[in-house]
Amino acid sequence: ELKVEQNPLFLSMQEGKNYTIYCNYSTTSDRLYWYRQDPGKSLESLFVLLSNGAVKQEGRLMASLDTKARLSTLHITAAVHDLSATYFCAVDNTGNQFYFGTGTSLTVIP
């Protein structure tokens, strides 16, 4: 079974600081997704990464994918309070299933 691990599980950071969330997965896959979830809400799609070396940026968030290392990163630049949420990565095993990471709960402190 494909396993997806994220770290850290919890992240508390000050506004204006930078940080990176890591997503490791256990088997080959070239499709990786990042989602944001606010409390009580469903998932909001952030990034779709479809090939080795893919890098995508939206605002203060940047995601990358290294399929050889089976690693994706979500980098936060100059965090603001609005980024407080839980972030999930998910790996598509090219079958029919998504495997979700454990999630990273991010709190940005003023």
Size of the chain in residues: 110
SS3 at position 82:
helix
Query: Which backbone phi and psi does 82 adopt, to 5 degrees?
Result: -65, -15
Is there binding between residue 45 and other proteins (CB under 8 A)? yes
Is there binding between residue 102 and other proteins (CB under 8 A)? yes
Task: State how far the Cα of 64 lies from the Cα of 76, in Å rounded to an integer.
Answer: 12
Out of 14, 16, 97, 109, which residue is the one contacting other proteins (CB under 8 A)? 97
Is there binding between residue 34 and other proteins (CB under 8 A)? no
Which residue number, 40 or 110, has a Cβ lying nearer to other proteins?
40
Is there binding between residue 73 and other proteins (CB under 8 A)? no
